Amino acid sequence: MGQEVKRKKGETFESLMRRFSRKVQQSGRLIQAKKIRFHTRTKSRNLRRASALRRAEIRARVEYLKKIGKMKDEFGEPRRNRT
């Protein structure tokens, strides 16, 4: 479970913290927590397919709107800074 470090007689707080952090490093808990921190589960095949179809539909809609002139190109006009 958690690491427990008791203060020795006459020990400074800094040395206590140093001893505690060394013990945590040696336990490997910190490395394990960092590994699983950003872990994402893989999506199922149906979810990936639905997402791809949704993206393709949006891309087609944007291309159509650009073609008929209802949507400006992304790099058409430079942006003006409002200061």
Over residues 32-60, the pLDDT tens digits come to 888 888 888 899 999 999 999 999 999 99
8 Å CB contact between 5 and 19: yes
pLDDT of the residue at 28: 87
- Of the pLDDT bands very low, low, confident and very high (cuts 50, 70, 90), residue 29 is confident
Annotated domain spans of the chain:
7-39, 45-74
Element (H, E) at 50: helix 45-68
Single out the residue of 36, 35, 55 nearest to residue 47, CA to CA. Answer: 55
Task: Provide φ and ψ at 8, rounded to 5°.
Answer: -80, 165
